[in-house]
């Protein structure tokens, strides 16, 4: 799951932060409408 997925599912920033074990500030940075991090290529 990514921040984008949580937002699409209607989760709150707090819920996504807890699920991903990330600080709320990090989640909030990626929460903005239209924000998509580039896909990470498999190693």
Radius of gyration over every alpha carbon of the chain, rounded to an integer in angstroms: 10
**Strand locations in 1-43, DSSP E?**
none
Three-class SS state of 33: coil
Confirm whether pTM is higher than 0.85: no
For 1-43, what is each residue's pLDDT tens digit? Answer: 788 888 889 999 999 999 999 999 989 988 877 777 766 556 5
Note the pLDDT of residue 15: 95
Note the pLDDT of residue 42: 60
What is the residue-wise DSSP string for 1-43? --HHHHHHTT--HHHHHHHHT--HHHHHHH-STT--PPPPPP-
Q: What is the DSSP letter of 19?
A: H
Three-class SS state of 21: coil
């Amino acid at each position: 799951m990514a921040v984008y997925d949580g937002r699409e599912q209607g989760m709150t920033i707090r819920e996504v932060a807890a699920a991903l074990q990330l600080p709320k500030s990090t989640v909030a940075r990626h929460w903005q409408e239209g924000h998509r991090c580039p896909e990470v290529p498999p190693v």
